[in-house]
Structure 1
Amino acid sequence: MEVIRNVQLIRILRWMRKLFLIGLLFSFILAVSSTFGILYLRSQPMPPSIIEQTSTIYAENGDVIDTLFSGENRTIVPLERISPGLVQATVAIEDRKFYDHMGFDFKRLAKAILVDIQHMAKVQGASTISQQLARNLYLTLDKTWERKIKEAILTIQLELNYSKDKIIEMYLNQIYYGHAAYGAEAAAKTYFGKHAADLTLAESAMLAGIPKGPAFYSPYLNMENAKNRQKIVLNAMVQQQMISREEADLAMQEEIKLAGLVPSEEKVIAPYYRDYITYLVKEKYQLPEEQLVNGGLKIYTTLDPVMQKKAEEVVAKYLPKDRPLQAALVAVDPATGAIKAMVGGRDYEESQYNRVFAKRQPGSSFKAFLYFAALENGYTPLTEIKSEPTIFNYGRNKEQLYIPKNFGDQYPYDFINLREAIAKSDNIFAVKTNMLLGPEKLVETAGRLGIETPLKPLPSLALGTIPVSPMEMAVGFSTIANLGERVEPLAILKIEDQQGNVLVEEKPVRTKVAEKAPAFLLTHLLQSVFEDNVGTAHRVSSFLHRPVAGKTGTTDYDSWLVGFTPQLSVAVWTGFDEGRKMDSFDDARIAAPLWAEFMETALAGQPPALFPIPDGVHGVYINPDNMRLATEYCPVQQLVYFADGTEPVEYCQEHVPAGETIDPEKKDAADQEPEKNPSILRRMFQWW
């Protein structure tokens, strides 16, 4: 018996040794395969994931004009720009062992299985933050074994490829917080109107509790539920020694101030301008629609939000409430081409049609380009033409007739000079000038200064009969203000993708298209439009407390005022959309006060600026009654600027006392001519 027992014991020991060796071999194989599996998974790139991110359009001062997204409002920010309180609160309530496990919390998983068995239903979740991130980034929510296996593999890959801080950063940028807010930054702005970095402990705890059930725990929908959930989160943070009990109690007592759910249309500072920006992104820069609305672009623009607000207020103030009169306003910085303000209509909700780019007849405001051409081709401010009813023959064989009229059929029946023609907007003077120069000259000059619409060399072109847009007019007048240097309109300064790579960067594009002298001479002449009891815009002179230059334009259907200061070129149009005549005289007068009030309020924070006098130009005082050089005895003297060598040479003799004569050879020119470069104070005094 003893022998038999020994034999059995030996057999058992042999089997045990075999099992041990087999187990050892199996463990070795498992370790090797696990190692190779981990190395393999580590070497494999993560599958591509598309995280929709909100694109943002910024004004020049950093204010948000609008955010663009098709379904997910998301702005990705690095972990250092997320409140540490939100990071801790999220870990405390979602995955307290997050920094200790390798993607799976097996103890939590076992506990969840027991709870589910007890209730015979899926009651408690056990997914870690890493598992949730893998699922949300790469997988659907299908409850299949295939999906769960893929989730486990992707979770391991996440843990192998990224640090814990990177995983929590990705998670906080990806998770849904309700009300179309994805990620911590969008959620912080949606609920509290602040950046994620600025959240308090109380706000962080409330925000961390929302993803469990956005429809149930949103403070907008049920503040009581949100506060209860906040308490649970704070208690979890205390249990894990992230905060003290005192800190938790203070956070519970803190008043939660919600930002308020504002309709998306009301968040837009400048809806017409916003639409123009999106048009440029897609059409000029050829970025796809998907990237625009979901690619997390940062679009930096030239819009001045203060000027924009003034523009919208002034348009709303002057347009009558009882008639569907429309308006367009665009303001451009002459020096840089930056578009500072844009209003495309009276009400964006009613009509999204941007009238800044609509083409309408500019009327007499187009004469500015005609007289620029005239000053380039021998005209001076004192050039005279007789204004009286005139029939113009044109065409190849002069077979066509054109019979323009002055406003109200009023004619001086006498010679008037260029300055008077501009101030009073004399049509006969304009058409005669156009025919003397040749209409082709006006076409060429207008195109050179900024009018891109194809023009026809007709006699009537001098009176603005071919439709152009307010944007073209603002650019053309800014070329005059800029002393002959044309600057292309600029709306977008830079576009960055969500990684901060610069996709587009713009600088002002300047082109010298004319000499400075005629540009300044025209500028000085255009100031007469606002002179008391003389110019066509004299009724708004009381609005203006700074030097301005401009030109009015009125047709049966359109009313314009286009003008500038050294800092700003502004075009204003008013009229009806449907081709309806402005049968009310008051409707035709709205553009001027609208323009004037905007110009003053838009530049309220800037001191009045004088138009710079270039080389090749100097001013003299003349007697406006006979257009000769004024003497000290002339009761009325008028300052007029001329290109060097084109000024009058004869002195007025009418007011010289008997027995005295004016000898040009001995006359000190300094007594007659203004200083070449007078001081700012003196020039301001002369202007006033």
Structure 2
Amino acid sequence: MTKPASNSAPRKRGTPWRVRAERWMPLIRRLRKAGFVAGCCTLALLLFAFGFLYYLRHQTLPAASITQTSQMLDLQGNVIDTFHTGENRQSVPLKAVSRHLIDATLAIEDQRFYDHLGFDVKGLARAAVVNLEHMETKQGASTITQQLARNLYLTHERTWNRKIKEAMYTVQLEMNYTKNEILGLYLNQIYYGHGAYGVEAAARLYFGKHASELTLAESAMLAGIPKGPKYYSPYNDMKNAKDRQRTILGTMAAQGYITREEADAAGQELLAFQPLGGGQQDGTAPYFRDYVRSVAVDQLGINERMFSEGGLRIYTTLDEEAQLAAEDAVAKGIPTSSQQQAALVSIDPRTGYIKAMVGGRNYKTNQFNRALAKTRQPGSSFKPILYLTALQQGGMTPVSRYKSEPTIFTYDEGRKTYAPHNYNDKYAEDYIDMRQAIASSDNIYAVNTIMSVGADNVIDMARRLGITANLQPVPSLALGTFPVSPFEMASAFGVFANAGQRVEPTAILRIEDSKGEVLYEAKPVHSQVVDPAHAYVLTSLMESVFETGGTGSRVAALLKRPVAGKTGTTATDAWLVGYTPELVTAVWVGYDKDRKLTPTEAHRAAPIFANYTEHALAAVPPKIFPVPGGVSTVYVDPKTGKLAGKGCPDRRLETFVTGTEPAEFCGAHGDQAASGGEDAVKETSKSWWSQLKRWWTD
């Protein structure tokens, strides 16, 4: 039977999944496409980032012009001057900075310094929240690396261009330097107020100590200043500085650098600050400092800017005690009201070290260094060079005799004449020997000597002794008529004191750069230019200058040790150049404009020399001049220059280069010679002992 048709509509079947999928396919395709695009974009961004980082990694950072204070030090290592042009900075390695200061700086400036890659994201977020709450900039988030990038390469202008460059340089710093290197650069770069850049200069300025010696309390005080030197400098506002210090100590305690008890104790500590400016060296020995600069720049080739701003350490030969003694002797040697000038140069003849230098009485009013000026006639102080020439040629000895009387000399094949005069026209009117001529500074004897030995030979000797001044081969050369500097005179006399050996004068021992690398080290040249025996005989002769009748006898009572030297006086200049075994010193006094000297003014050089020598060598026991081989001493008769008999009333023990002593004795008193055999040796020894005893007990 056929089933009847139903009146109801047939029921729809469910939509096949394929149909449903097809409906979603456009969306899926769009999502896939978007994901692909996003992936591509991400990949592109990553590639760009890596490429940019690679680019930055191989880009050279801009040259940072960081000036550093150069220092000049004396022989004992004390700073005698600092050089800087606006920025007082002395860079030191991180290991030379107090751990307290490092911790204080990290605590207040960049707590996550060792964890971030140049940018502190957490710090940025924290600062943003704080600033949003207060609706103003209350907290910054610049890391130490960012601050270093800004200080080294950029200005502090607030522009997007500067911020982008700062970010780039920050990344480059992190890629090119270790964290400790960045921290070290930062601590040597930041400004601590009052002209002090870097921790070392700041430590010296505020506390008069090195950065490595800072205490916890001092470190917390310094760490707070860079945020605003005007507001947090203890010299400007002690309350602000103290509040800032305690904030830093509290932060250090909260971060575990120190305990709360240590923070409280440091906060209560009373700090001893240097007087403003007291931590910086005003400098001493200004004429010497100028000389050192000229040697470094002109002779050693050190760049002028490097000398002033390169953080150099210039180690010099200056002796602080000797320099103070020199300045004091000059100051006391000339009345304050006088316009007379003075110069002093002192050298250790054994090493060539320049121990003291005074170029004038007042550096502030006149920087002209008279110690180096080849503008002054040395007068009779030049005569020892003449007499050394005569001794070394072998034609003259200490008992060679000339008559002291007014004399007219002819030269240049008889075409010219020269008529010298003794000081105040005083003449012995008799024959005198070399010792008497040196002691009394007889000009007639000196000119007779130069006529005998030849002026050219005297000039040659002067050159060997280190004198480069313009000298002419004329008879007046014997009387020191050609200008020579005190510096050259001191150097030349150093040969006499050093057994005939010349040592090149040295002012700079060593120069180191800011990293401690040696740029220059002195190697003084030693050369034997005179026979030791001849140098000693000349020294023995010049000791008479300070004995009775000598031109330096007026200061004999001030000298408590064996001293040799020579005075020199012209109408406008007065000198005393003398020495002990340890120290040779040239003193000049006069006027800058060739004004004539009064007798009183002409006598001021000798007391300056004597006072300086005794004070500079106060800690050094007196010593006789060492006697070299090839020297003999015999008794002579001054009247004849021959060997003296035992009964000779005026016999004198004289020193000779062995082989040049007299061979004939005078016999005028019917005696045998007193200069041979055992008796002579005994008397000679007794004479030396008497001389030593006199020096010690005088």
Measured after TM superposition, the shift of residue 500 of structure 1 is 2.9
Q: Which residue of 2 aligns with 1:92?
A: 107
1:360-418 Cα shifts (integer Å, max 9, x gaps): 111110111111111122111111100101122334552x3322211121111110111
Q: Which residue of 1 aligns with 2:396?
A: 379
Q: Which residue of 2 aligns with 1:672?
A: 680
Q: Which residue of 1 aligns with 2:661?
A: 647
Matched, 1:600 2:614: yes
One-letter identity of the residue aligned with 1:423: A
Where do 1:283-682 residues align within 5 Å?
A: 283-358=298-373, 359-377=375-393, 378-395=395-412, 397-398=414-415, 400-531=416-547, 533-583=548-598, 585-624=599-638, 626-634=640-648, 637-651=651-665, 653=667, 662=672, 669-673=677-681
User: Alpha carbons of 1:680 and 1:211: their partners in 2 closer, same or farther (altered >3 Å)?
Assistant: farther
Measured after TM superposition, the shift of residue 21 of structure 1 is 4.5
One-letter identity of the residue aligned with 1:384: R
1:252-311 Cα shifts (integer Å, max 9, x gaps): 222211222338996212111111111111111222211111111221111111211111
Measured after TM superposition, the shift of residue 650 of structure 1 is 3.5
TM-score normalised to the size of structure 1? Answer: 0.93
Measured after TM superposition, the shift of residue 663 of structure 1 is 7.4
Q: Answer yes or no: is the 8 Å Cα contact 1:618–1:676 preserved in 2.
A: no
User: Alpha carbons of 1:39 and 1:674: their partners in 2 closer, same or farther (altered >3 Å)?
Assistant: farther
Measured after TM superposition, the shift of residue 684 of structure 1 is 3.1
Q: Answer yes or no: is the 8 Å Cα contact 2:646–2:673 preserved in 1.
A: no
Distance 2:478 2:279 in 1: 45
1:46-66 Cα shifts (integer Å, max 9, x gaps): 332221111111112211121
Distance 2:432 2:15 in 1: 145
Of 22-31 and 386-395, more deviation after overlay is shown by: 22-31
Distance 1:488 1:678 in 2: 38
Measured after TM superposition, the shift of residue 230 of structure 1 is 1.1
Q: Answer yes or no: is the 8 Å Cα contact 1:392–1:403 preserved in 2.
A: yes
Q: Answer yes or no: is the 8 Å Cα contact 1:319–1:346 preserved in 2.
A: no
Measured after TM superposition, the shift of residue 634 of structure 1 is 4.8
Aligned to 1:412, the other structure's residue is in SS state coil
One-letter identity of the residue aligned with 1:354: N
Distance 1:180 1:2 in 2: 86
Distance 1:396 1:618 in 2: 39
Distance 1:682 1:240 in 2: 78
Aligned to 1:267, the other structure's residue is in SS state coil
One-letter identity of the residue aligned with 2:490: A
1:600-636 Cα shifts (integer Å, max 9, x gaps): 1111112222212222211112344554434555555
Q: Which residue of 1 aligns with 2:11?
A: none
Aligned length: 679
1:239-262 Cα shifts (integer Å, max 9, x gaps): 211111111111122221122233
Of 121-130 and 95-104, more deviation after overlay is shown by: 121-130
Q: Answer yes or no: is the 8 Å Cα contact 1:552–1:592 preserved in 2.
A: yes
Distance 1:336 1:507 in 2: 10
Where do 1:50-129 residues align within 5 Å?
A: 50-117=65-132, 121-129=136-144
Aligned to 1:57, the other structure's residue is in SS state strand
One-letter identity of the residue aligned with 2:455: P
Aligned to 2:597, the other structure's residue is in SS state coil
Distance 1:40 1:266 in 2: 46
Distance 1:218 1:654 in 2: 90
Distance 2:463 2:169 in 1: 61
Aligned to 2:264, the other structure's residue is in SS state helix
Distance 1:101 1:252 in 2: 30
Q: Answer yes or no: is the 8 Å Cα contact 1:485–1:510 preserved in 2.
A: yes
Measured after TM superposition, the shift of residue 331 of structure 1 is 0.6
One-letter identity of the residue aligned with 2:534: P
Q: Answer yes or no: is the 8 Å Cα contact 2:79–2:281 preserved in 1.
A: no
Matched, 1:148 2:163: yes
Distance 1:663 1:340 in 2: 47
Measured after TM superposition, the shift of residue 40 of structure 1 is 3.4
One-letter identity of the residue aligned with 1:671: D
Q: Answer yes or no: is the 8 Å Cα contact 1:209–1:233 preserved in 2.
A: yes
User: Alpha carbons of 1:20 and 1:367: their partners in 2 closer, same or farther (altered >3 Å)?
Assistant: same
Larger-gyration structure (1/2) = 2
One-letter identity of the residue aligned with 1:91: L
Measured after TM superposition, the shift of residue 29 of structure 1 is 3.6
Q: 1:210 aligns with which of 217, 222, 225?
A: 225
One-letter identity of the residue aligned with 2:301: Q
One-letter identity of the residue aligned with 2:218: E
Distance 2:673 2:361 in 1: 62
Measured after TM superposition, the shift of residue 564 of structure 1 is 0.9
One-letter identity of the residue aligned with 2:672: I
Aligned to 1:594, the other structure's residue is in SS state helix
Distance 1:200 1:552 in 2: 57
Measured after TM superposition, the shift of residue 6 of structure 1 is 6.7
One-letter identity of the residue aligned with 2:472: K
Distance 2:90 2:579 in 1: 40
One-letter identity of the residue aligned with 1:324: Q
Aligned to 2:417, the other structure's residue is in SS state strand
Measured after TM superposition, the shift of residue 11 of structure 1 is 5.4
Distance 1:259 1:344 in 2: 32
Distance 1:424 1:48 in 2: 68
Matched, 1:196 2:211: yes
Distance 1:676 1:508 in 2: 38
Matched, 1:258 2:273: yes
User: Alpha carbons of 1:567 and 1:428: their partners in 2 closer, same or farther (altered >3 Å)?
Assistant: same
Distance 2:636 2:665 in 1: 8
Distance 1:166 1:449 in 2: 52
Q: 1:179 aligns with which of 180, 191, 194?
A: 194
User: Alpha carbons of 1:264 and 1:324: their partners in 2 closer, same or farther (altered >3 Å)?
Assistant: farther
Of 256-265 and 192-201, more deviation after overlay is shown by: 256-265
Q: Answer yes or no: is the 8 Å Cα contact 1:619–1:674 preserved in 2.
A: no
Of 98-107 and 672-681, more deviation after overlay is shown by: 672-681
1:505-555 Cα shifts (integer Å, max 9, x gaps): 221112222222221111110000001x21100011111111111000111
User: Alpha carbons of 1:559 and 1:265: their partners in 2 closer, same or farther (altered >3 Å)?
Assistant: farther
Distance 1:222 1:677 in 2: 75
Q: Answer yes or no: is the 8 Å Cα contact 1:620–1:673 preserved in 2.
A: no
Distance 1:582 1:679 in 2: 40
**Runs (5+) with no aligned partner, structure 1:** none
Q: Which residue of 1 aligns with 2:253?
A: 238
Distance 2:575 2:307 in 1: 35
Measured after TM superposition, the shift of residue 143 of structure 1 is 2.1
Distance 1:24 1:6 in 2: 25
Identity of aligned residues (%): 51
Q: Answer yes or no: is the 8 Å Cα contact 2:205–2:278 preserved in 1.
A: no
One-letter identity of the residue aligned with 2:362: D
TM-score normalised to the size of structure 2? Answer: 0.92
Q: Answer yes or no: is the 8 Å Cα contact 2:91–2:514 preserved in 1.
A: yes
Q: Answer yes or no: is the 8 Å Cα contact 1:630–1:672 preserved in 2.
A: no
Q: 1:44 aligns with which of 56, 59, 67?
A: 59
